[in-house]
Structures are given as structure tokens and as C-alpha cells.
Structure 1
Amino acid sequence: MSISLTKNAVQHILTYLYNNKKDQWLRIGIKNSGCFGMSYIIKIVDNINDDDLIFETQGIKIIIDNKSILYLKGIELDYVKEKFNEGFKFNNPNIKSICGCGESFHT
């Protein structure tokens, strides 16, 4: 699986996992949403589904459902801090267009 995490993303995720002291996973996925059809899912979970793809990188256990995998190949997950906002940013080479607000995309 070719998903990469930036140093900032790794640091943010590991800090969260350390503070919660549970055996948890980072779930990354795609859902039908927004004006362009798809948006990202990112959350910390403590359960795995039978059809999940599982891998580990830089000490972080990642799960992706098999429906999302085609849309996530080659992505880079970053964590950015800007003037008044901070959060995860997906750099996805598969995207053809993004809606005006930046919340949804089309491949």
C-alpha cells in the first residue's frame, strides 16, 4: 500500500495515541459526500472489520476499507497548522477536481 505520512502527521497521531494509551488504529477512508461526490474519513478506532486492509507505517497501525483503497493509492497525509486552523490534509494524486470549498472531490 502506498500511503505516506509526513513527519507532522506522524507526530500528531502518535501523540494522540500515547495520551489515550489504548490499542487503537487510524482509519482512513472515503465516503459519498459533498457537491463533488467524495470526501475523506479519518478517525481513531479500536475495532477492525473483516474486509479492512491493515498495514503499519512509522509505528502507526492504519486500516482502510476495501471500497476506499482505489481512491487512496499514493496519497500523502499531512498535518498542517495555519493562522486560525489546523488539521489533516490529504495530498491525493488521484483527484481530478475539487469543489470550491475544498471539502469534496472527484477522481
Structure 2
Amino acid sequence: MAVRLTPVAFARVQRFIEQTPGALGLRFGVARTGCSGWGHVTDLAREQREGDTVFEQDGVRIYVDADSLPLVDGTEIDFGKQGLSEAFTFSNPNASAECGCGESFTTDAAHR
């Protein structure tokens, strides 16, 4: 599978990379957080780490660490505005449930 960006998210990430010296691409993964257990995490990648899987989409690289990969493989990353807020949103096929606020998710026991 892969991790991919919608056209809107692609444009946003590409602009972040171009404006940030030393940025190699997008770092995407998960961290324990929230009431459901996992939260998606995005940042700019400044280095490739041991164990990273790198997905490339039209020249933009997405770096995913080995621990996060089973939890995010197949995710589509979008970017949207709602009122005054702007944020990445995630369509993650591995999420079996999300908390009420949408900040965290759970997966089937096989991915824990």
C-alpha cells in the first residue's frame, strides 16, 4: 500500500518543504495520545531515519517510521479549512474507531 496526499494537501506540503531549508519531505506517523490511544502526527522530515519507509508522490517524499507504518499504511492525507482553523485530516483505513473529538483513534488488536 502507500500513504498519499490529496491535491490540496500535496500543495500545502510542497509549499512547506520549499519554504523550509533542509526539509526533505513530510514525516508522518502516530503517537500515543487522546482518549482513544493513537493520534496522527505530521512534521517536516529533516533526515531519513533507520527503518523509515519512504513514499514518493510527484517528487514529494513522505517518511514513515517502522512502528507507525502498520497503523497508517493506506492513509490519505488531506488539508482543509474550517472557519479560522486549518489542519491536515486523515482517512486511515486502519482506524477501527475514533474518539468523539476526532483527535485520536484505535485499531484492531492485531495492530497494537
Contact 2:97 / 2:106 at 8 angstroms: preserved in 1?
yes
Query: With structure 1 as the length reference, what TM-score do the two structures score?
Result: 0.91
Gaps in structure 2 of 5+ consecutive residues: 108-112
Structure 2 residue aligned with 1:89: 89
Cα deviations across residues 39-70 of structure 1 (Å, max 9, x unaligned)? 01100021121111122112211111111111
Paired residues, number: 107
Structure 1 residue aligned with 2:31: 31
Gaps in structure 1 of 5+ consecutive residues: none
- Whole-angstrom distance in 2 between the partners of 1:20 and 1:63: 16
Structure 2 residue aligned with 1:49: 49
Percent identity, aligned pairs only, is 33
Relative to 1, partners in 2 of residues 1:23 and 1:85: Cα closer, same or farther, differing over 3 Å? closer
Q: How far off its partner does 1:23 sit?
A: 4.3
CA RMSD in angstroms, aligned pairs only: 1.3
Residue aligned with 1:96, SS: strand
Query: With structure 2 as the length reference, what TM-score do the two structures score?
Result: 0.87
- Whole-angstrom distance in 2 between the partners of 1:23 and 1:94: 28
Once superposed, which parts of structure 1, at least 4 consecutive aligned residues long, lie more than 2 Å away?
Answer: 20-23
Kindly provide the amino acid, as one letter, of the partner of residue 77 in structure 1.
I
Contact 2:3 / 2:55 at 8 angstroms: preserved in 1?
no
